[in-house]
Amino acid sequence: MIYLDNAATTLRKPRAVDEAVRRAMHAAAGYARGGYAAAMRAGETVYACREQAAALFGVRDPARVVFTMNATHALNLAIHALARPGMRIAVSGYEHNAVMRPLALRGIDPVVLDTPLWDCAAMAGRAKREVAEGAQLFILNHVSNVFGFAAPVEEIASLLDEAGVPLILDASQSAGILEIDVQRHPCLAAVCMPGHKGLYGPQGTGILLVLDDRIARRPLLAGGTGSRSEDMRQPDFLPDALESGTPNVPGIAGLAEGIAFVRAAGVENILAHERRLVGEFARALEKERRIECFAHPSQTGVLSLRVRGASSEGIAQALARRGVAVRAGLHCAPLAHRTAGTERTGTVRFSFAHDSTAEQTERAAEILCETVKNL
């Protein structure tokens, strides 16, 4: 199988990830609840992952690294704490439903920066106008899960720094691929990410970097934390304020190894590899005129396309029969498709990872072109 659905989850993890999960499954238990060896080992395992994540993202205090089930969980925690009905909230035109549905659930209709695909200057300009109009909170998708379009976060965050407007950053497609240093911008209130994509951890893991203390004061869940058990009020200190119940210790153990892999490989090298493959793939498709490819030199390892006269789902199914795994449809991001003008048709998405090869890329392009010719 040629696996090119890494924007959903990276399938092939470093061997150390699997080994760490297995060790924790059999040797770590009773996290933060006991003084015996297995409980101590669980605590050490979890803290080691906090330290790895803090080092990768420039977080000075590892306690601000909060573990979640996934990026959706992390985004819900941040939105629950910071977003209120009646606030003027701005989002990009490329947000995932993990942002739009929590806002809708709270009766919030955000201002959408529905700027053209690849036009960073236009997005930054719209953001500047929104700040002038009194925006109280920004939520930005760092990289589109549909198109691999990287938002101009540096420019927008600089505007928000000056205006004192907080930013929730959805790093679902950028963590482990683009450099993220939380010390660069005081406006950063939260950075939300999955563990199972560009960080190469197991599914069922995620991270919330809590940079605004208000988030700890308004938890989404409450329960046992192993701390202050005599007090019926939820602890107000991190990470306990946002980590009720037993954490996914085996998953976190694997995530620590995934982050260690990313740090050793270098995010700049991972990005360069993925961009090179995306470029080669797009060029290989130029000979087939029925394929409309959404490609740009600045995109990450995610590329969408559609085929004139064919359904996106049908193309994906045909590719699956030939051993190429991709994702078709709206990708849980109808807003992104609406902004880019692909909402009616959806797209077929190809997404690459560190283990994707030039040979796989070339073969996938050949199979796609053959599939289109045989329609």
**Domains of the chain and CATH, by start:** 15-265 (3.40.640.10), 267-373 (3.90.1150.10)
Per-residue confidence (pLDDT) for residue 299, from 0 to 100: 98
Residue 51 neighbours by CB distance under 10 Å: 14
Q: Which residue has the tokens 């490989």?
A: 265
Q: What is the mean pLDDT of residues 288-312?
A: 97
Q: Which of 321, 315, 316, 329 is nearest to 373 (CA)?
A: 315
Per-residue confidence (pLDDT) for residue 148, from 0 to 100: 98
- Residue 225: band (very low, low, confident or very high) from pLDDT cuts 50, 70, 90: confident
Q: CA 307 to CA 289: how far, in whole Å? A: 9
β-partners of residue 91 are: 112, 139
**Element at 162 (helix H, strand E):** helix 153-163
* Per-residue pLDDT tens over the stretch 321-358: 999 999 999 999 999 999 999 999 999 999 999 999 99
Pairing type for strands 111-113 and 89-92 reads parallel
**In the predicted model, is pLDDT for residue 370 greater than 90?**
yes
Q: Which residue has the tokens 């040629």?
A: 2
Per-residue confidence (pLDDT) for residue 140, from 0 to 100: 98
Per-residue confidence (pLDDT) for residue 227, from 0 to 100: 86
Q: CA 332 to CA 270: how far, in whole Å? A: 25
**In the predicted model, is pLDDT for residue 284 greater than 80?**
yes
Q: CA 159 to CA 134: how far, in whole Å? A: 13
Per-residue confidence (pLDDT) for residue 267, from 0 to 100: 98
Please give the mean pLDDT across all residues of the chain: 97
Q: What is the mean pLDDT of residues 179-203?
A: 98
- Residue 70: band (very low, low, confident or very high) from pLDDT cuts 50, 70, 90: very high
Residue 275 neighbours by CB distance under 10 Å: 18
Q: CA 363 to CA 358: how far, in whole Å? A: 9
Residue 213 neighbours by CB distance under 10 Å: 14
Q: What is the mean pLDDT of residues 139-144?
A: 98
Residues contacting 34, CB < 8 A, separation 6+: none
Q: What is the mean pLDDT of residues 5-14?
A: 98
- Residue 249: band (very low, low, confident or very high) from pLDDT cuts 50, 70, 90: very high
Q: Which of 318, 344, 319, 316 is nearest to 330 (CA)?
A: 344
Contact by Cβ (8 Å): 65, 239: yes
**In the predicted model, is pLDDT for residue 162 greater than 80?**
yes
Per-residue confidence (pLDDT) for residue 375, from 0 to 100: 87
Instruction: Flag the least confident range among 215-229, 259-273, 343-357, 360-374.
Output: 215-229
Q: Which of 177, 350, 135, 156 is nearest to 262 (CA)?
A: 177
Q: What is the mean pLDDT of residues 15-33?
A: 92
- Residue 277: band (very low, low, confident or very high) from pLDDT cuts 50, 70, 90: very high
- Residue 35: band (very low, low, confident or very high) from pLDDT cuts 50, 70, 90: confident
- Residue 190: band (very low, low, confident or very high) from pLDDT cuts 50, 70, 90: very high
Answer yes or no: pTM beyond 0.95: yes
Per-residue confidence (pLDDT) for residue 120, from 0 to 100: 98
**DSSP helix, strand, coil percent of the chain (3-state; round to 5):** 40, 15, 45
Helix axes 153-163, 120-132, angle to 10 degrees: 10
Residues contacting 285, CB < 8 A, separation 6+: 291, 293, 305, 365, 368, 369
The widest CA-to-CA distance across the chain, in whole angstroms, is: 69
Residues contacting 229, CB < 8 A, separation 6+: none
Per-residue confidence (pLDDT) for residue 32, from 0 to 100: 74
Residues contacting 290, CB < 8 A, separation 6+: 307, 308, 309, 310, 372, 375
**In the predicted model, is pLDDT for residue 34 greater than 90?**
no
**In the predicted model, is pLDDT for residue 258 greater than 80?**
yes
Residue 307 main-chain phi, psi, to 5 deg: -115, 125
